[in-house]
Amino acid sequence: MKTKITLLNKTYQFSNLKEILAKANEEKSGDQLAGIAAKDAQERLAARHLLADLTLNDIRNNPVLAPEEDEVSRVIENSINEKNYQSIANWTVSDLRETLLSDTTTDIEITRLRKGLTSEMVAAVTKIMSNLDLIQAASKIEVITQCNFPIGYKGTLSGRAQPNHPTDSIQGIKASLYEALSYGIGDAVIGINPVIDNAESVKQILQMTKEEMDRFIIPTQNCVLAHVTTQMRAIKNGAPSDLLFQSLAGTESGNKAFGISVELLDEANDLIQKEGTSAGPNLWYFETGQGSELSSDAHHGIDQVTLEARCYGLAKKYHPFIVNTVVGFIGPEYLYNSKQVIRAGLEDHFMGKLQGLPMGVDVCYTNHMKADQNDMENLAILLGSAGVNFLIGVPMADDCMLNYQSTSFHDIASVRSVLGLRPAPYFEKWLEKMGIMENGKLTERAGDPTIFM
Amino acid sequence: MNEGQIELIVQKVMEQLQKRFTPDHNIARENVKEIIEKGLVFREQDWKTSIPQPAFKEGVAELTASTPARIGVWRTGTRPLTKTMLKLQFDHAAAIDAVSSEVLEKYLEEFNLFTVETCYENKEVYLKRPDKGRVLTDDAVDTISSRCQKRPQVQIVVSDGLSASAVETNLKDVYPALIDSLKINNLSFGTSFFVKGGRVACMDHIGDILEPEVLVLLIGERPGLVSASSMSAYMCYRPRKGIIESDRNVISNIHPLGTPPIEAGAHIGTVLRRMIEQKVSGVKLEL
């Protein structure tokens, strides 16, 4: 494998693939914090030139984290279809980029290609793609999944209703849920982040959301985003959960910090298959986000884009209904400003889609990050153009429980309106029946949560 | 408008208000009205927007009362109304100002706190490199070594952390309440000071230098939109390098609308006494 490159008269020597991958990244404060980022813009470009010229074979033969040492590496390695891989093994990363962007490469070719790709190859090509490349390539890929009802069709944009409350008040959660539904949001999932991580509390929230879904015959699915073990206890106690949720990391040690392992996920997967309340076949909701491995000191010197791609490699094993990258939640030591958040949002969406995942993005920021609501509106429109499956809907974008800002019900309705996107088909029919939407547009009644009282 | 002009206007308004209580009521009222109309007065209720014709009129208040979330705000097309949008921007502005601003000297002088710095360099580096905010500069080490009492029973440290306004808003209530509660619990304390650019773990470095029995760090939290001025009190028994997070105790959410600052100050003394009695802190401490 080539590790040395001369650009004009200057020569750069890198020690291994891990270093090349890290230094080829767009500038991210997290890679700088880890001490693995390029020293300057020219070194970054040297790494990127070299990476563009490496073959997929080089990437597979030089694992950033050996399968013998890490179970996430093993999951990724085991998912490769050898025939598909052999047919592209001699491609350079540049060949892969140009194939993905070519007019003649359709979603069908990409479906075949992905069977031969490892997460590291996906990360590699991402590093040599511009923002518009990432949008263009992702927009070709359609990933349709079904829990109770299918979402992800081209020309649609779904929303997660995220009616969180600072004390898990059932009445308070219901109030925000009514507001979400009245704006046409909630087709991806009605998903609540609980304050109290215990089975009884999780069960109460699941029961309330299920009752509301039954009362109004809402074509969607419910979920409470507690730790997977808490949800498992709640389900065993009879809680009506359509989906299982869990946060994922891209390394075994990162997952250990989250209190999970592949074995535990397998066990949970068996449980939801047997005792979940939904039609399926897709029964998982995963969340990820660049920087989580570094924050738990589980990054093994690997850059955050590559680690994020590996999360998707792991997620793929469980055929999830939705995957969401919480792109700006972790803070400025990982993504410093809006430029970095926007880049990361587009990278994550593309990397997930290329690996066949139903990607949504929590377009968000914290108050100590150099970003504001305008930046989130920009990224929401970019992702809408890229064909994102769903966005997060929070009342006026301000989550009063998690203390960060995301996108609002108004924002999702606006992205739909500006880009001519529709809610998921069954949900749109329901909105019409409720008199909230007509011909893809909100009616006079929309925005009034009291219609559900 | 400069400060002088503002003062003039304030003076003029005050004069006019005083005139309201003179016999010539009507003329005075007119004058006040004229002055007030030159500017907008915004109060909390002025930001409120509402649904023009809700399906269930009485239901709106019931829903909005059940959550602090920004619901029942209505819309124009698919966009929020102007005042709802401005309110969100206003709250965000307070939060970002809290991160970027510095604690004014006068708030520290009130309690004779002198200032030392961590290796944070500037606000940008502070946000990107949490590790630098955990170590004091060489100058700071010299200063506290020479100015502070060594091996005190209780060491109090104040830091801006992620919110300067947390210190400015809460210190005046927390600090005296804390001193009182130390006295009630028969605890003595050393020389308090302020650390600029501090992270929670700067406690460990300070612990190595001054070797207090217990240390309490009053530090500004990451600002939210509900409060940009929230403070935390981190406490540790024999703090030193290598301490893990679970060895610390914390009282968080200290601000006028959260844990009241005076109550927090009073509670800290009790926690510190228990640490000294049990010779332990963190998850092992029995409260």
**Single-letter residue type at A138:** A
Burial A282-309 (b: 16+ CB within 10 A, else e): bbbbbbbbbbbbbbbebbbebbbbbbbb
Q: Is A27 an interface residue toward B (CB < 8 Å)?
A: no
> How many Cα atoms within 13 Å fall on the side-chain side of residue A421?
32
Q: How many Å apart are CA A229 and CA A447, to the nearest integer? A: 36
- Binary contact (A332, B128; C-beta < 8 A): yes
> How many Cα atoms within 13 Å fall on the side-chain side of residue B22?
10
Q: Is A193 an interface residue toward B (CB < 8 Å)?
A: no
Nearest Cα residue in chain A from B95: A367
Q: What mean pLDDT, rounded, does chain B reach?
A: 89
Chain segment B171-209, per-residue pLDDT in tens: 999 999 999 999 999 999 999 999 999 999 999 999 999
Rounded to a whole number of angstroms, the CA Rg of chain A reads 21
Question: Quick one: pLDDT band at residue B227, thresholds 50, 70, 90?
Answer: confident
Question: Phi and psi of A196, rounded to 5°?
Answer: -100, 115
Q: What pLDDT is attached to residue B174?
A: 97
Q: Which residues of B touch A368 (CB under 8 A)?
A: 99, 127, 162, 222-223
The CATH code belonging to domain B105-284 is 3.40.50.11240
Question: Quick one: pLDDT band at residue B15, thresholds 50, 70, 90?
Answer: low
For residue B29, pLDDT beyond 60: no
Q: Is B59 an interface residue toward A (CB < 8 Å)?
A: yes
The residues near B113 (Cβ < 8 Å, ≥ 6 apart) are B158, B192, B193, B194
- Cα torsion B48, B49, B52, B56 to 10°: value is -60
Interface predicted TM-score of the whole assembly (ipTM), two decimals:
0.95
For residue B37, pLDDT beyond 80: no
Q: What pLDDT is attached to residue B21?
A: 47
Q: How many Å apart are CA B89 and CA B85, to the nearest integer? A: 6
Q: How many Å apart are CA B282 and CA B234, to the nearest integer? A: 10
For residue B24, pLDDT beyond 70: no
Q: How many Å apart are CA A139 and CA A121, to the nearest integer? A: 19
For residue B27, pLDDT beyond 60: no
Domain ranges, ordered by start, for chain A: 145-452
Q: Which residues of A touch B99 (CB under 8 A)?
A: 367-368
The dihedral through the CA atoms of B8, B9, B14, B15 has a sign that is positive
Q: How many Å apart are CA B191 and CA B112, to the nearest integer? A: 9
Q: Which residues of B touch A32 (CB under 8 A)?
A: 128
Q: How many Å apart are CA B283 and CA B265, to the nearest integer? A: 21
For the residues of B76-88, what is the DSSP string, one character each? BTTBPPHHHHHHH
Q: How many Å apart are CA B280 and CA B285, to the nearest integer? A: 6
**Single-letter residue type at B70:** R
For residue B28, pLDDT beyond 60: no
Q: What percent of chain B has pLDDT over 90?
A: 75
* Block residue for tokens 């959550």: B67
For residue B22, pLDDT beyond 50: no
Question: Quick one: pLDDT band at residue B146, thresholds 50, 70, 90?
Answer: very high
Q: What pLDDT is attached to residue B226?
A: 80
For residue B20, pLDDT beyond 70: no
Q: How many Å apart are CA B160 and CA B171, to the nearest integer? A: 11
Q: What pLDDT is attached to residue B11?
A: 63
> How many Cα atoms within 13 Å fall on the side-chain side of residue B229?
15
Q: What pLDDT is attached to residue B43?
A: 87
Q: For each successive 10 residues of chain A (453 residues), what is the average pLDDT? A: 95 98 98 97 97 98 97 98 98 98 98 98 98 98 98 98 95 98 98 92 97 98 96 96 97 94 97 92 98 93 98 98 96 96 98 98 96 98 98 96 94 98 98 98 98 97
Third-level CATH fold of A145-452: TIM Barrel (3.20.20)
Q: What mean pLDDT comes out for the span B249-274?
A: 93
A405: closest CA among B37, B23, B135, B226? Answer: B226
Question: Quick one: pLDDT band at residue B9, thresholds 50, 70, 90?
Answer: low
Q: What pLDDT is attached to residue B42?
A: 84
B70: closest CA among B56, B50, B53? Answer: B50
Q: Which residues of A touch B89 (CB under 8 A)?
A: 372-373
A377: closest CA among B93, B78, B213, B251? Answer: B78
Q: How many Å apart are CA A311 and CA A302, to the nearest integer? A: 13
Q: Which residues of A touch B228 (CB under 8 A)?
A: 367
Contact, B202 vs B134, CB < 8 A?
yes
Question: Quick one: pLDDT band at residue B249, thresholds 50, 70, 90?
Answer: very high
Contact, A315 vs A249, CB < 8 A?
no
Strand order in the sheet with B214-220: B114-117, B193-196, B154-159, B214-220, B231-237, B249-254
- Binary contact (B92, A172; C-beta < 8 A): no
- Binary contact (A367, B222; C-beta < 8 A): yes
Question: Quick one: pLDDT band at residue B36, thresholds 50, 70, 90?
Answer: low
Q: What pLDDT is attached to residue B195?
A: 98
Q: What pLDDT is attached to residue B45?
A: 86
Q: What pLDDT is attached to residue A301?
A: 97
Question: Quick one: pLDDT band at residue B14, thresholds 50, 70, 90?
Answer: low
Question: Quick one: pLDDT band at residue B17, thresholds 50, 70, 90?
Answer: low
The dihedral through the CA atoms of A142, A147, A150, A156 has a sign that is negative
Alpha carbon distances (Å) from A69 to A78, A230, A422, B74: 14, 29, 45, 54
Which parts of A89-182 fold into alpha helices (H)?
Answer: 93-101, 107-114, 119-127, 131-139, 170-182
Question: Phi and psi of A313, rounded to 5°?
Answer: -60, -35
Q: Is B35 an interface residue toward A (CB < 8 Å)?
A: no
Chain segment B57-68, per-residue pLDDT in tens: 999 999 999 999
